[in-house]
């Protein structure tokens, strides 16, 4: 009957081989240290100097070796720090370049009184156009802030009488009206997060009846295409003025668009 012989795995062979190499390495280091000490002692005696003086010399040699090692390590650390600093500078320059590119992007002119086809603008240009209307009518600091993480605010401004204006812009087609869910999301952030005194939603597609009902409950002004055209053409005061609250309901365009 054959008895199976368990073969040693390659890992076990490597482990035993590594142990032997480690032991041989320690032995070699010990021989080098002992041999170096013997040579140093012989040279010292040949020079006619007392053996006690060899101790300071050995200490100085060890200190010199440590200094060399520390300098090499310091160079590596300095190189790593320099590379990190250059990386931070490069990232900062990239951010500045991006900001300059965005600043150099042509902005639409401040809208004058007259008809503007807002539904033909792209969403970013539409936000800029609404901000331009705000600046035209006295909100000097009106700026587009929309983007990722804007929490519903596309334009922020301060009205001439010092109130905070928060605007959400919906550049929709005529068949796509802003619904109640969109108004509810805006209503959940315009006052609690953005601390609006005047909350305004501008939609080129109009609003559904449930959206208008919710907006009325929450004192959110809704400007559809008719109200936006009247504001843009100078036929109605700005939304934040008391006289503009009545046409801001926007029910005329909602009824024309269907139930």
18 in Cβ contact with 8 (< 8 Å): no
245 with 145, same domain?
yes
Crossing angle of helices 10-46/54-104, nearest 10°?
130
Amino acid 37: pLDDT: 61
Amino acid 251: pLDDT: 41
CA dihedral for 33, 38, 41, 42, sign (positive or negative): negative
Asked, for residue 110, whether it belongs to a domain, the answer is no
Mean pLDDT of the chain: 74
Crossing angle of helices 180-190/209-217, nearest 10°?
20
78 with 127, same domain?
no
User: What CA–CA distance (Å, rounded) separates 3 from 32?
Assistant: 48
CATH number of 138's domain: 3.40.1350.10
Terminal-to-terminal C-alpha distance of the chain: 94
User: What CA–CA distance (Å, rounded) separates 210 from 240?
Assistant: 23
pTM: 0.52
39 with 90, same domain?
yes
pLDDT over 70 for what percent of the chain? 49
Tens-place pLDDT, residues 31-80: 665 665 665 566 556 655 555 555 555 556 656 665 666 677 777 766 77
Domain residues for the domain of 203 are: 118-257
Asked, for residue 40, whether it belongs to a domain, the answer is yes
151 with 241, same domain?
yes
Asked, for residue 134, whether it belongs to a domain, the answer is yes
Asked, for residue 6, whether it belongs to a domain, the answer is no
71 with 140, same domain?
no
172 with 252, same domain?
yes
163 three-class SS: coil
Least confident range of 94-108, 115-129, 148-162, 163-177: 94-108
134 in Cβ contact with 198 (< 8 Å): no
For the cut 80, the answer to whether the pLDDT of residue 82 exceeds it is no
For the cut 60, the answer to whether the pLDDT of residue 105 exceeds it is no
- Domain count for the chain, please give it: 2
Please compute the mean of the pLDDT values over residues 186-202 and round it to a whole number. Answer: 93
CA dihedral for 227, 225, 132, 196, sign (positive or negative): positive
Tens-place pLDDT, residues 129-156: 999 999 999 999 999 987 666 788 999 9
From 52, 73, 104, give the residue that closes a domain: 104
162 with 58, same domain?
no
180 with 203, same domain?
yes
Closest CA to 221 of 195, 190, 192: 190
Amino acid 116: pLDDT: 76
130 with 88, same domain?
no
Amino acid 225: pLDDT: 92
52 with 123, same domain?
no
Amino acid 222: pLDDT: 95
173 with 229, same domain?
yes
77 with 158, same domain?
no
Asked, for residue 239, whether it belongs to a domain, the answer is yes
Helices (H) and strands (E) counted in the chain, each on its own, are: 7, 5
């Amino acid at each position: 009957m054959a008895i199976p012989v368990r073969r040693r795995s390659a890992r076990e062979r490597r482990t035993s081989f590594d142990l032997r190499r480690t032991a041989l390495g320690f032995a070699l280091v010990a021989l080098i240290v002992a041999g170096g000490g013997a040579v140093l002692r012989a040279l010292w005696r040949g020079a006619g100097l007392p053996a006690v003086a060899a101790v300071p010399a050995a200490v100085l040699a060890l200190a010199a070796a440590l200094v060399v090692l520390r300098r090499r390590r310091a160079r590596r650390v300095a190189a790593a720090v320099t590379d990190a600093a250059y990386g931070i500078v490069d990232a900062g320059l990239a951010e500045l370049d991006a900001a300059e590119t965005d600043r150099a992007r042509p902005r639409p002119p401040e809208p004058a009184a007259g008809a503007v086809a807002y539904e033909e603008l792209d969403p970013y240009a539409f936000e800029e156009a609404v901000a331009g209307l705000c600046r035209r009518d006295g909100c000097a600091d009106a700026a587009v802030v929309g983007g990722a993480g804007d929490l519903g605010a596309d334009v922020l401004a301060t009205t001439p009488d010092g109130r905070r204006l928060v605007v959400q812009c919906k550049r929709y087609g005529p068949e796509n009206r802003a619904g109640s869910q969109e108004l509810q999301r805006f209503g959940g952030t315009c006052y609690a997060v953005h601390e609006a005194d005047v909350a305004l939603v501008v939609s080129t597609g109009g609003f559904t009846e449930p959206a208008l009902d919710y907006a009325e409950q929450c004192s959110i002004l809704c400007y559809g295409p008719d109200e936006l055209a009247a504001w843009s053409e100078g036929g109605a005061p700005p939304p934040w003025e008391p006289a503009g609250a009545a046409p801001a309901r926007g029910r005329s365009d909602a009824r024309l668009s269907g139930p």
